[in-house]
């Protein structure tokens, strides 16, 4: 905690421009998992001290699908009550017309961020959101259990399924009837698009919709990948996984009842919390690859950003707040508390982070396997395209039709949605 306090003291004493002459009230809307809202509040408390502004957090459900739907309603209504939106990396093209262009206001800081992330938030030459942390999921594994049974960290999905079953069966035979082999995000929402993109793309089945706009999802490799996952339900994965989002997966994992988990970096710090049953018993590795031609590890690129509403009554103060939260000092603070991945390149070589969160420098290997969802190709139609994809995947995993049939129907639906072009 001394380290956190020292960072905050430096941040308050040394950074950012002079606070506005008149204090204002601001609102930021955010949905998050784990301790994200708590840490955001801690950061905003520091902002309030140095700016004299007051900031209210409007808390959203953790589902990104629910968040996006509400954001669209508020922005369409010209809502002046929300000044700043916390946005997913894929939303920039869809919301850009109702967000403030931050290009001029952030020209002194953008060079510190990964260029690819800045580019992802740039629409028609306008920077519409400033990144605060990036995301790429990994395979969490119980190193104590793998060691116990002489098993290796899997590098393919087949190895994962075989190892998961081996360890699960042995643990259940030893009396742990609640043990499962693998938990992930199987609910019908944007998170399933992320998981399923990894299964399909890592098996050589394409990117759902390719960068040139071609609908590619209806192919044998994609169907085989979904059939593979369907076989996990009720065997190595609990039937309830079809309703899991990130926190439900983490709940099973963190209580010690799963051998493997697919999840984002935030789960690392929580799993090593003082009261966590799995503290010190797990590690992470890149997600497995499929088999055959074109197979490789794939992790869906995530990440969160801050955007200023075009309808804010105090845009200058809102921009000031965004720059504070996205600053190197506050990204470092967030990383130390939550293990979220910073978007500031220099922080991956920071000694304090390497000491407190040693996984962060190692996450570079995971980040190198990151692949974007097809939001850039699909543009404003992405939300509908993703919804159609996760629906087809969920139907398949639930036993409602064969993967090949569901993907053939999906191709027809996406082709109609595309029309004359995305």
Q: Which long-range contacts (CB under 8 A, 24 or more apart) does 408-417 make?
A: 408/218, 410/217, 410/218, 411/215, 411/217, 411/218, 413/388, 414/209, 414/215, 414/217, 414/385, 414/388, 414/389, 415/215, 417/381, 417/384, 417/385, 417/388
How do the domains of the chain map onto residue ranges?
25-135+302-371, 138-300+374-418
The string of pLDDT tens digits covering residues 253-283 is 999 999 999 999 999 999 999 999 999 999 9
On whether the 25-135+302-371 domain is CATH 3.40.190.10, my answer is yes
The string of pLDDT tens digits covering residues 91-103 is 999 999 999 999 9
Is the pLDDT score of 9 beyond 80? no
Is the pLDDT score of 17 beyond 80? no
User: What mean pLDDT do residues 365-374 have?
Assistant: 86
Q: Kindly state the tokens that stand for 405.
A: 């049939």
Give me the pLDDT at residue 368, please: 77
* CATH architecture of the domain with residue range 138-300+374-418: 3-Layer(aba) Sandwich (3.40)
Q: Give this prediction's pTM.
A: 0.89
Is the pLDDT score of 356 beyond 50? yes
Pairing label, strands 282-285, 138-142: antiparallel
Give me the pLDDT at residue 401, please: 96
CA-based nearest residue to 64, from 265, 231, 247: 247
Mark out the alpha helices in 255-380 (DSSP H runs). Answer: 266-271, 315-326, 328-338, 351-356, 359-368, 375-378
What is the rounded radius of gyration, in angstroms, for the C-alpha atoms of the chain? 22
Give me the pLDDT at residue 365, please: 79
Q: What is the mean pLDDT of the chain?
A: 93
Give me the pLDDT at residue 19, please: 45
Greatest CA separation found in the chain? 68
pLDDT band (50, 70, 90) for residue 32: confident
């Amino acid at each position: 905690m001394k380290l956190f306090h020292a960072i905050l003291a430096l941040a308050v004493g040394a950074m950012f421009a002079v606070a506005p002459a008149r204090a204002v009230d601001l609102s930021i809307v955010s949905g998050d998992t784990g301790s994200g809202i708590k840490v955001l509040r801690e950061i905003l408390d520091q902002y309030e001290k140095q700016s004299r502004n007051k900031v209210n957090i409007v808390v959203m459900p953790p589902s990104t699908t629910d968040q996006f739907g509400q954001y669209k309603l508020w922005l369409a209504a010209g809502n002046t009550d929300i000044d700043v939106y916390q946005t997913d990396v894929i939303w920039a093209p869809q919301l850009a017309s109702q967000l403030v262009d931050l290009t001029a206001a952030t020209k002194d800081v953008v060079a510190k961020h990964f260029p690819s992330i800045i580019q992802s938030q740039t629409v028609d030459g306008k920077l519409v959101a400033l990144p605060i942390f990036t995301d790429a999921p990994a395979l969490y594994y119980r190193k104590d259990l793998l060691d116990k049974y002489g098993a290796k960290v899997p590098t393919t999905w087949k190895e994962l399924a075989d190892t998961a079953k081996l360890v699960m069966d042995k643990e259940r035979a030893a009396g742990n009837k609640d043990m499962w082999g693998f938990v992930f995000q199987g609910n019908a929402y944007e998170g399933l698009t992320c998981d399923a993109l990894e299964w399909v793309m890592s098996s050589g089945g394409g990117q759902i919709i390719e960068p040139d706009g071609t609908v590619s999802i209806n192919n044998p490799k994609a169907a085989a990948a979904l059939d593979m996952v369907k076989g996990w339900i009720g065997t190595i994965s609990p039937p309830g996984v079809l309703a899991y989002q990130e926190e439900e997966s983490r709940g099973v994992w963190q209580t010690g009842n799963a051998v493997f988990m697919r999840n984002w970096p935030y789960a690392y710090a929580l799993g090593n919390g003082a009261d966590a049953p799995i503290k010190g018993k797990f590690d992470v590795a890149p997600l497995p690859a499929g088999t055959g031609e074109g197979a490789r590890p794939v992790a869906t690129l995530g990440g969160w950003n801050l955007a200023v509403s075009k309808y804010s009554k105090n845009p200058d103060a809102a921009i000031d707040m965004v720059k504070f939260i996205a600053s190197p000092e506050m990204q470092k603070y967030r990383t130390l508390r939550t293990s979220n991945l910073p978007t500031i390149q220099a922080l991956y070589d920071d000694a304090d982070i390497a000491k407190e969160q040693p996984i962060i420098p190692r996450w570079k290997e995971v980040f190198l396997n990151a692949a974007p969802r097809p939001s850039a190709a699909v543009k404003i139609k992405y939300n509908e395209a993703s919804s159609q994809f996760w629906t087809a995947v969920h139907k398949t995993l639930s036993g409602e039709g064969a993967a090949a049939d569901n993907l053939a129907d999906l191709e027809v639906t996406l082709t109609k949605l595309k029309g004359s072009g995305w």
